[in-house]
Amino acid sequence: MDEDDTKPVDDGDSRDDESPVSPGGDRTDDSQLVGDPEGTGDPEATGDPEATGDPEGTGDPEATGDPEGTGDPERTGDSREATDSNTGSVDDVLTTGTSVKGSDGTTVESRSRDRSSPEVDIGSMVLEDDEEDDKGLFDDLLSGEPIFENKEVLRPSYTPHKLPHRSDQINQMATILVSALRGETPSNILIYGKTGTGKTASAKFVSQELESTSQKYEVPCDVEYINCEVTDTQYRVLAQLANKFIEKNQDRIQERLERLREVRSDVVRNGDARVDESDLEVNEGDLRVDENRQSESSDGVDIVKFDSVGELDDRIERLEADADGMEEVPMTGWPTDRVYSTFFEAIDYRERVVVIMLDEIDKLVEKSGDDTLYNLSRMNSELENSRISIMGISNDLKFTDFLDPRVKSSLGEEEIVFPPYDANQLRDILQHRADVAFKPDALTEDVIPLCAAFAAQEHGDARRALDLLRTAGELAERSQADLVREEHVRQAQDKIELDRVVEVVRTLPTQSKIVLFSIILLEKNGVHNINTGEVFNIYKRLCDEIDADVLTQRRVTDLISELDMLGIVNAVVVSKGRYGRTKEMNLSVPTEETEAVLLSDSRLGDIENAQPFVQARFDN
């Protein structure tokens, strides 16, 4: 409200030019107070300022003595009393009201004293107020020239059309999967690589190409993508796949039914009882058909001939029964073998090659063992009409160690490794995306190289590089800068780092949080190169304070090692000669922010005054 109400100060020049409340100014001149534009020479004062409780008619809270810009007539009256000795007492001001008629015939209360109130047009003034009120919360934010042309392009969900520096891997995948287009079963593929190296993006790109080519050449080939981080049990994987194929089958059956019904009505309309055989020739695509009725057309598509309308009706009935018989798998509740057989039937309903992409396949194995992979990999020997091929994607190179040797050898028929990107490659990737994502010339020259350099330091992660670029753009946009500059990238780097730390710290187990809090307390009290004994001492006291179990010093040392691995503390083992070895550590994350996250935990939040614990520490 403040901003809106104070805005007219900039627009109106009445106060600066001839403010009635200027020092020593006397506001008793009626012509000014009734807002006579001619009389006052005040271009803004076209209405009765008194009527709005604003002596200048500018809506200026300062001028009205209404510091909060509330437009409250009582407050205005107060202030006028204080600044203008000639206007009488507050009570007078408040009680002596007259009515002023606006141009629209509305009556507005005037609080001026002893004044005749001629008819005044308040329309324009009201309009001005309306305009100000119309300015919403988002107007200012929207008014800035946006930096982004299409921000979505920088989000992880976007699948780019071009994947620079991945052509080798993409070609490798294509060479393996092309057999699907020849109706053969492609080898299973395992794709490895660290996070953000373009595994998912490349696999999705290849699968889109595969599906579109299969449509072009009318070769039945489907690709199904499953993210095993979300769908992480055998039941869910099989249920999701079963339902997808049931849906596809249903769509296909409906298409066929429509076609058959069309043919039927044509035949009945044209040929009454006599049926011309050619009319009954229906291209059934590759639906399962009665074998003795099936013949191959020249383009390889099955043609089914019907001898009579009755036969056509039988076919329609059978298809309808098929459709009715396909029951969707509920997300829980069925025995796994029923889910498996439903999936099996759904996939085998028609001839096709199916590529199943299991992204984050290591998560599936970690959560529910290798049963799913075992079942999927032996399916081909039982399927009659279709064939499946598995494409597993993982950033854990060691996950196959946990697999049954049979699964391991069948899954890893082909392996493709995605190496990390270097800074130059990341620069190309960012440039391609930035061209679409940002307005022309919205980035200074050093922005992309800097984002690439930061991300290259972190194992060449393209996701991180894109996050940096997007966050830098958002920070620039938020600060209403006209360009994204180097400083925005640095701020973005800090922000992302802090967000990561906050997330890691927030999700630590309570015991680790207590250990970390002990380290923070020591650091805050000026202790550097903190040793395990000191941490343990404070840790014990904190546990007593919040009634937590006290772990042994050995366990606490393990927890410190975990914090070290997470990059929260930096611990080194130092030798103390004949006193043995100890770990010395320092915090590697911002103290204040980390402490705030820890204290937001309801248990640690109970620690009221931690100072005494620190004073009781062992001195080196």
Near ligand ATP by CB under 6 A: residue from 196, 220, 420, 473: 196
Cα distance between residue 297 and residue 220, in whole Å:
16
Per the annotation, does 198 bind a ligand?
A: yes
Query: Does the footprint of ligand ATP cover residue 372 (CB under 6 A)?
Result: no
- With vertex at residue 316, the alpha carbon angle to CA 312 and CA 318, rounded to the nearest 5 degrees, is 115
Which 330-369 positions form the footprint of ligand ATP (CB under 6 A)? none
Q: Which of 537, 560, 561, 562 is nearest to 550 (CA)?
A: 537
> Exactly one of 108, 358, 466, 476 binds ligand ATP (CB under 6 A); which one?
466
Q: Is 522:614 a contact under the CB 8 Å cutoff? A: yes
Among residues 75, 115, 151, 165, the one that binds ligand ATP under rule CB under 6 A:
165
Q: How far apart are CA 268 and CA 247, in angstroms?
A: 31
What CA–CA distance (Å, rounded) separates 228 from 234? 10
Applying CB under 6 A, does 468 fall inside the site for ligand ATP? no
* Residue closer to ligand ATP (CB basis): 197 or 234: 197
Q: Which is nearer to ligand ATP, 200 or 375 (CB)?
A: 200
Q: Of 246 and 429, which has the nearer Cβ to ligand ATP?
A: 429
Rule CB under 6 A: say whether 173 interacts with ligand ATP: no
Task: Single out the segment in contact with ligand ATP by CB under 6 A; choices: 75-83, 189-197, 348-356, 595-603.
Answer: 189-197
**Of positions 57, 65, 73, 198, contacts ligand ATP by CB under 6 A:** 198
The single residue among 27, 199, 352, 363 that binds ligand ATP, judged by CB under 6 A, is 199
Q: Which residue is nearest to ligand ATP (CB)?
A: 198
Stretch that binds ligand ATP, among 26-34, 164-172, 372-380, 381-389 (CB under 6 A): 164-172
CA–CA gap between residue 458 and residue 427 (Å, rounded): 14
Q: Tell which one of 463, 490, 495, 540 touches ligand ATP (CB under 6 A).
A: 463
Q: Is 160 in the site for ligand ATP (CB under 6 A)?
A: yes
Contact map string, positions 377 to 396, toward ligand ATP, x by CB under 6 A? ------------------x-
> Which of the stretches 13-21, 325-333, 461-469, 596-604 binds ligand ATP when contact is defined by CB under 6 A?
461-469
Indicate whether 470 belongs to the interface with ligand ATP (CB under 6 A).
Answer: no
Phi and psi dihedrals of 327, rounded to 5?
-100, 130
Sign of the Cα torsion 159, 160, 165, 169 reads positive
> Is 464 a binder of ligand ATP (CB under 6 A)?
no
What does the alpha-carbon distance between residue 296 and residue 5 come to, in Å, rounded to a whole number? 80
* Local structure of 531: helix, strand or coil: strand
Judged by CB under 6 A, does residue 201 bind ligand ATP?
yes
Residue type present at position 279: D
433 known member of a binding site: yes
How far apart are the C-alpha atoms of 48 and 112, rounded to whole Å? 10
CB 556, CB 581: distance < 8 Å: no
CB 66 within 8 A of CB 76: yes
d(CA 451, CA 455): 6
Question: Tokens 């982004």, residue?
Answer: 148
- Establish if 166 lies at the interface with ligand ATP (CB under 6 A): yes
Amino acid in the structure at residue 168: D
Confirm or reject binding of residue 156 to ligand ATP (CB under 6 A): yes
- 429 belongs to the binding site for ligand ATP (CB under 6 A): yes
**Contact map string, positions 278 to 317, toward ligand ATP, x by CB under 6 A:** ----------------------------------------
Total of chain residues touching ligand ATP, rule CB under 6 A: 19
With beta carbons less than 8 A apart as the criterion, state whether 120 and 51 touch: yes
CB 197 within 8 A of CB 418: yes
Helix axes 234-271, 336-347, angle to 10 degrees: 40
Among 71, 164, 419, 590, binds ligand ATP (CB under 6 A): 164
- The owner of tokens 């009935």 is 317
Tell which positions 91-110 bind ligand ATP, by CB under 6 A.
none
Classify the C-alpha dihedral 395-400-403-407 as positive or negative. Answer: positive
**Min CB(164)–ligand ATP separation in Å:** 5
Determine how β-strand 581-587 pairs with β-strand 569-575: antiparallel
Under the rule (CB under 6 A), what is the footprint of ligand ATP? 156, 160, 163-166, 193, 195-201, 395, 429, 462-463, 466
Query: Which residue numbers belong to the known binding site for ATP?
Result: 197-201, 421, 433
